[in-house]
Chain A
């Protein structure tokens, strides 16, 4: 027997040096040899029918959707369609929910509180803070998720997603990541927390971590409203009215595309530094196309995805609402804590082409990105001393017309740069606390959770800083 410890190490060392001698990607050479052998053997053993190939619908669709030429345009078209349906379809039910929860139920609750002579601070904390934050999250988040998730699940059920992963596999592999990350990124466009959960489909821990850390660069539902509103106000205003809608929509798509680009860049950087390793090969079976089971799909996607994500958001929105109300109403030296914070952060914010209000709003809105815009508006009104908007200090509200919003923001000193940088920062900043919590649950690691949270926010600060500095260089 020759397997003494010393010999064992020699054997492993020799394997290592031979590995270097051979060079190239041994794994791929091996896989290729197996495939070549398998093809040869199968070719000799199987006799195909002599009749000419019949028209095969599945294969024709496959050739089209996975072709090098048409694959990506078709993908872009399908997703534009889904986002368009989501964005335009969500407005109406969002309006209904807002009317119901904010216009109808809110006064009833206030009246009820007054009837039982609840102290003003408790009434403010519970109703103006916690209730309104929750109502906001529900009315903004529920409709887009209830549209996006079933549409996405239908696409999945139909069998398109494996083809999509097939298309994107090459790009992700080039970035040292797993091809299935394409799927989790798509989920992230709906909700990053759901996207992080979806990374379970990636088996290799290294590639799964890359997918988790970069998922935040997929613009989630909670951030779409911010993007759309700010784009409409600041970008759409740059062009004649008949182009405004198209141009602002394109600027939102550009931000989303920037997010995809960042996903690749950061995946690439991670796989060459802290998460070094080879991309693993996987067999992707392209299942036959099936007619989707519409009702079952809608039901399960509502239960499994929509309600699950919504519930986590609500859990975090309630305490956030309480905090917003508290910092706007608790005063120190005659000025509310919120104003202290804004004044303190303002110089820093201006350096980034943002302002103190936005930074405070982002800190307060860590629990849920949906409440960024209402918080921004509320804090702006508070500090600029405008009157006639909203219900009072610390009450979150949303204005009916973008013109009103524009008026408030201008009085708060906003410029085009502020708008652009807000859009950039909204894309590149820390994940919401729901997502952070999910990352912790999924990885079980404080270290990776911290990295996932801090990496994007540092990147966002760098990007907005340089945008602001270059901007002032050119505009004087």
Chain B
């Protein structure tokens, strides 16, 4: 597991949900009866749907993303008297380019601010899958890596050092074989720990940018941070702006990014019922 960082938080409380209720309503997710929002990201062919089914069982239904013809599955699960809503994102290889699926996944993590993002990866194709993981970690710290298809990795005599991986990525890593239900309890516990603030991941940021780009990113990151003091991913926003991302430029002009930074009124952000239990 990941080392826990117990730095005192200036604002908010340890166990308070992060998710952005108003934005989520716009994204078609109603958090009325749920404590925390968990979302499931991952490459295609990693067994993401199997993980989704294993977590939710029969508590799931499908619909469309609002205004899009891409289907979305959502469901829920409970752990330690806490109710988690689970939203399955489209399977994508990255969050950088222009496809509709990638845009949906990216917008959901950015504007929905899920309390935990589970990234499902194929343990036998770790390198390729880590590309998406690193991009998710640029947007949010609150992630758990689900190292799936461990049974296949064993069959190919691959050994994956999950402790090392957890240290390098700065997030909890749980080896699973969702097909056989293995590791699901540990996954749920890790999700719970991150959601409730028991574990505070400190995600790795991409480190090998060319020096010119790194300098420009740093400079712009400070400007973004100054404009939006509470934004958790100023560096990522800076990178997107440098890349000429029109969606982010628009989000800045329209004030969507400002909404995220400002957060929500406290009474809205408090979890219903279970806030006291968890905290």
**Residues of chain A having any CB pair with chain B under 8 Å:** 1-3, 7-8, 11-12, 14-15, 18-19, 21-24, 26-27, 29-31, 33-49, 51, 203-204, 280-283, 285
Residue pair B96, A31 in contact (C-beta under 8 Å):
yes
Within 8 A of A (CB), among B3-25: none
| Structural contact, A34 and B242, CB atoms closer than 8 A | no
Which B residues form the contact surface with A (CB < 8 A)? Answer: 44-45, 93-94, 96-100, 126-128, 130-131, 133-135, 156-162, 164-165, 168-169, 204, 206-210, 212-213, 216, 219-220, 223-224, 226-229, 238-239, 241-244, 249, 252-253, 255, 257-258, 261-262
Q: Is the CB of B227 within 8 A of A7?
A: yes
Q: Are B98 and A204 in contact (CB under 8 A)?
A: yes
Bound complex: CA A3 to CA B158 (Å)? 50
In whole angstroms, how far apart are the Cα atoms of A131 and B165 in the complex? 70
B127 touches A42 (CB 8 A): yes
Top 10 closest pairs, chain A to chain B, by CB: A38-B130, A42-B127, A283-B93, A49-B157, A15-B241, A203-B99, A47-B159, A45-B165, A18-B216, A42-B126
What is the distance, in angstroms, from A165's C-beta to the closest C-beta of chain B?
14
Q: Known: A12-B249, A22-B213, A45-B160. Is A38-B220 also a contact (CB below 8 A)?
A: no
Closest residue to B133 on the A side, CB-wise?
Answer: A38
Chain B, Cβ-Cβ closest to A21: B216
Closest to A206 in B: B98
**Which listed residue (B157, B228, B241) contacts A51, Cβ 8 A?**
B157
Q: Which of A43, A45, A285 has the most CB of B within 10 A?
A: A45
With A7-B227, A11-B252, A27-B243 as known contacts, state yes or no: A37 contacts B261, CB within 8 Å. Answer: no
| A46→B162 CA distance, assembly (Å) | 9
**A2 touching B96, Cβ below 8 Å:** no
- Specify which chain A residues have a CB less than 8 angstroms from the CB of B258 in the assembled complex: 1, 3
- Is there an interface contact between B161 and A8, defined as CB atoms closer than 8 Å? no
Please state if A49 and B127 are interface contacts (CB–CB under 8 Å): no
Pair A29/B209 contact, Cβ less than 8 Å: yes
List 17 additional contacts besides A18-B220, A26-B242, A26-B244; criterion CB under 8 Å. Answer: A2-B228, A11-B227, A12-B241, A15-B249, A18-B219, A19-B242, A22-B213, A30-B206, A33-B210, A34-B135, A41-B130, A44-B168, A45-B165, A46-B159, A48-B158, A49-B156, A280-B97
A22 touches B227 (CB 8 A): no
Q: In whole angstroms, what is the CA distance A2 to B257 when docked?
A: 12
Q: A22-B242, A42-B127, A203-B98 are in contact. Are A33 and B223 (CB under 8 A)?
A: no
Bound Cα distance A331, B100 (Å): 57
Decide: B209 and A33 in contact? CB cutoff 8 A: yes
On whether the beta carbons of A37 and B161 are closer than 8 Å, the reply is no
Q: How far is the CA of A12 from the CA of B246 in the complex (A)?
A: 11
22 residue pairs A–B, Cβ–Cβ below 8 Å: A2-B227, A3-B227, A3-B261, A18-B216, A18-B219, A18-B220, A18-B242, A21-B216, A22-B242, A27-B243, A29-B209, A30-B239, A33-B207, A41-B169, A41-B204, A42-B130, A43-B127, A45-B126, A45-B160, A48-B158, A203-B98, A204-B98
Nearest neighbor of A204 in chain B, beta-carbon distance? B98
Check B210 against A29 for contact (C-beta < 8 Å): yes
Closest to B228 in A: A3
Chain B residue with Cβ nearest A287: B45
Report the minimum CB–CB distance from A126 to chain B (whole Å): 43
Smallest beta-carbon distance A13→chain B, Å: 11
- With contacts A39-B127, A46-B158 taken as known, whether A11 is within 8 angstroms of B223 at the C-beta atoms is yes
Q: In the complex the two chains form, is A30's CB within 8 Å of B261's CB? A: no
Shortest Cβ distance from B1 into chain A, in angstroms?
A: 15
Q: Do residues B134 and A14 form an inter-chain contact, with CB atoms below 8 A? A: no
- Contact: B220 with A14, CB < 8 Å? yes
Chain B residues within 8 Å of A35, by CB: 131
B191: shortest Cβ distance to chain A, in Å?
21
CB distance from B50 to the nearest CB of A (A): 18
Contact A14 B206 (CB under 8 A): no
B94 touches A283 (CB 8 A): yes
A34 touches B131 (CB 8 A): yes
Q: B242–A282 contact, CB under 8 A?
A: no
User: In the complex, A31→B96 CA distance in Å?
Assistant: 8
CB pair A49–B158 under 8 Å, yes or no, is: yes
User: Smallest Cβ distance from B236 to chain A, in angstroms?
Assistant: 11
A15-B242 in contact (CB<8A) = yes
* Distance of B10 from chain A, by nearest CB (Å): 16
Query: Which one of A46, A203, A280 contacts B100 once the chains associate, using CB atoms below 8 Å?
Result: A203
The smallest C-beta distance from A234 to any residue of chain B, in angstroms, reads 47
A residues less than 8 Å from B169 (CB atoms):
41
**In the complex, what distance in Å separates the CA atom of A433 from the CA atom of B46?**
43
Q: Return chain B residues, CB-CB under 8 Å to A283.
A: 93-94, 128, 131
